[in-house]
Amino acid sequence: MSLRLEGKNALITGGASGIGRATAVRFAEEGANVFVADRHLAAAEETAAKVRALGRKAVAHQVDTSAEKEVAAMVDRCVAELGGVDVLVAAAGISHARYGEEGNPAMGPLAEKPLADWKKVLSVNLDGVFLTDREVARVMIKAGKGGRIINISSGAAKLPTPGVGEYSVSKAGVWMLTKVLAVELAPYGITANAIGPGFINTPMTANIQQAEGFMKQLIERVPLKKMGEPIDVANTALFLASEEGRYYTGSILHPDGGVVMQ
């Protein structure tokens, strides 16, 4: 039986860890070459090495997806080194303005939120996805072969998340962005879908998992009573990228253990 992504070229932002890394490896297992883009080059190289170990081409690239020129250069390099982009997974994102830094995680009610913190999250989670989608869409339209755009949103796009309201707003924006793109790109044979994960065991949720009381409350909200793993999201992305997902566009799928349905 042929592999589901045999000969396809995938560009994955946020590919250095968590959902992005799991998706890169899962795509490679199904035959895809992978362009791994992330702010952290060394970790992106580790992901690329895992892809190469599976016999696929891989390129690691450092990028700040909120910077327009860097995104354009990223897509240009992907086309130059892999020959094109068949599938995009826009997974780069942050949970709050201090994500990845020691100390204050900058959580708190919106009424007390500094504008700079708001802008930081929106610039990465929404502007970054828009810029990436736009550049890849242009390449796909020019190539004339269709394509798949998959944006990583969140269950928080539908469920307000106190303390990190800017995260909820940014992910809701990604969901609407996806729907608009689905309509605009349909004439070119390009689908656009989103994935809205629930509580997934990734570096982004590491701090939450250390707070035992809070973590227990979160798990109680999950009908399946457990966190998901990055592979659960990667498998969802694989479905949307593969032939099985060809008739999906403008949809958001929730690998979330049942949280969003409540």
Q: How far is CA 81 from CA 21, 43, 139, in A?
A: 20, 20, 14
Give the SS3 label for residue 33. strand
The question of whether 248 is a catalytic residue gets the answer: no
- For the beta carbon of residue 247, count every other beta carbon within 10 angstroms: 8
Q: CA 57, CA 54: separation in Å to the nearest integer? A: 9
Q: How far apart are CA 33 and CA 11, in angstroms?
A: 9
Q: Residue ranges of the alpha helices (H) in the chain? A: 18-29, 41-53, 68-82, 115-122, 128-143, 165-185, 206-210, 212-220, 230-241
Nearest to 78 by CA among 34, 134, 126, 16: 34
Looking only at the bridges linking them, the beta strands covering 33-38 and 58-62 are parallel
Token pair belonging to 256? 């979330």
Residue in the block written with tokens 């999906």: 248
Residue of 99, 167, 247, 248 with catalytic role: 167
Q: In what order do the strands lie in the sheet with 33-38?
A: 58-62, 33-38, 9-13, 87-90, 147-152, 190-195, 252-253
Catalytically active residues are 167
